[in-house]
Amino acid sequence: MHPQSGEFNIRIMNLISEIQKEIIALNDLPSFKSGDTVSVSYKIKEGNKERTQQFQGVVLQRRGAGATETFTVRKMSGNIGVERIFPVNSPFIEAINIIKRGDVRRARIFYFRERTGKSARIREKKQFKKEA
């Protein structure tokens, strides 16, 4: 099999996807999307000490796929907007808690950055109760 043949490339891609599936299986995070308000518990190492920091904000986007997937969270700290990008499969993420489900029409809500005051609110998704 020649390294530049199509069959060789397909085998390599299959190997990569199998390894990515194993990495993703280790991590049991809730399903969330853009517009949701989440609280991310993130481990921080300072010297030989380790502590957990909470970062609560609105998810602006989810990007990538498999082992390289990331999500961006934005919060307001005083009058300053702070955004942080987290890898989904990071070993430093302890937990992700969903505070509120947002009802947005887009996968990437970058327009949210320019909003202030009441226009910076996101509607909450209505929960429908199943009747038995």
The answer to the question of residue 83 being in a domain is yes
State how far the Cα of 24 lies from the Cα of 37, in Å rounded to an integer: 23
Structural contact between residues 44 and 51, judged by C-beta atoms closer than 8 angstroms: yes
DSSP string across the chain: --TTSHHHHHHHHHHHHHHHHHHHHT--PPP--TT-EEEEEEEEEETTEEEEEEEEEEEEEEE--GGG-EEEEEEEETTEEEEEEEETT-TTEEEEEEEE-B--S-S--GGGGG--GGGG--PBPPPPPPP-
State how far the Cα of 82 lies from the Cα of 74, in Å rounded to an integer: 6
What is the tens place of the pLDDT at every residue in 62-108? 999 877 889 999 999 988 999 999 999 888 999 999 999 999 999 99
Residue 37 has a CB neighbour count (10 Å cut-off) of: 19
The answer to the question of residue 125 being in a domain is no
Taking all residues of the chain, what is their mean pLDDT, rounded to a whole number?
86
- The tokens for 43 are 């481990």
The answer to the question of residue 106 being in a domain is yes
Count of structural domains within the chain: 1
The answer to the question of residue 60 being in a domain is yes
The CATH code of the domain that includes 101 is: 2.30.30.790
The answer to the question of residue 123 being in a domain is no
For residue 34, give the amino acid letter.
S
pTM of model > 0.85: no
The answer to the question of residue 120 being in a domain is no
Q: What is the pLDDT of residue 130?
A: 67
The answer to the question of residue 131 being in a domain is no
Domain range for 12 is 6-114
Q: What is the pLDDT of residue 107?
A: 92
The answer to the question of residue 124 being in a domain is no
